Amino acid sequence: MYDSFYAIDKEKQIRIINAAMKVFSQSVYKKASTADIAAASGISKGALFYYFKNKKDLYYYLYQYSCKKIYEKIDELEALKENDFFERNAKIVEARVRTMMECPHIFDFSLRVYYETDIAVSEQIKEINKKILKDAYVKINENLDITKFKNKEDINRAIKMLVWVGEGFIKERMAEGNMELKEIQEEIYDYMRILKNGFYKGDVLNGED
């Protein structure tokens, strides 16, 4: 379906993807300008519509791309082979960091799309969410050892805290222009140890010493 787009070199593809995500993340769908996307990509508007049928087609492509991209990184890091809740989530945060290093606007764009209410695109977005996000969420949280928690009721709280920590941490590093992967990995694990100490049973933590 996107043969003409995939025929161009990878560097150009990523440039177009990043430019489009940036423009779409800055405003609602209706106000996002394809002329701005083409200009930011360094191509003509005609070339953009050679690769994608129209604005809506580009929008759907980018959203599906962004949904799949993070899960590809999660698979690369073999995060789902970890049964420990915090070890798995440390790798998932690292996957998010690696994704943002390639696509700086991917999470702002995804959030904007997820909450888009324009009827021109919202129904199709809901369908994409059903096909991709629901199954992915189940996959990410299956086969986790939850017996280590002091209280099972804390699991949802822990998930929310990890999302908040991950979002804030990544945005802070991006703003600083400091995306040194080794430093980020070490800091991620420091945060995870703090959370683990708060949520896990004492005998579990003593057994890890």
Query: Which distant-in-sequence residues (6+ apart) come within 8 Å of 206 by Cβ?
Result: none
Looking at residue 160, its pLDDT comes to 80
pLDDT digits over 89-115, tens only?
888 888 888 888 889 899 889 989 989
Assess contact for 62 and 140: CB atoms under 8 A: no
Looking at residue 132, its pLDDT comes to 77
- What is 3-201's CATH number, 1.10.357.10, 3.40.50.12160, 3.10.20.30, 3.40.50.2300? 1.10.357.10
Looking at residue 42, its pLDDT comes to 96
Assess contact for 69 and 131: CB atoms under 8 A: no
Residues in the chain, how many? 209
What is this structure's pTM? 0.82
pLDDT digits over 172-185, tens only?
777 777 777 777 77
CA–CA distance, 189 with 123 (Å, rounded to integer): 39
CA–CA distance, 6 with 102 (Å, rounded to integer): 17
Q: Which of 25, 106, 105, 132 is nearest to 124 (CA)?
A: 132
Looking at residue 123, its pLDDT comes to 92
Domain ranges of the chain: 3-201
Task: For the chain, list residues with pLDDT below 50.
Answer: none
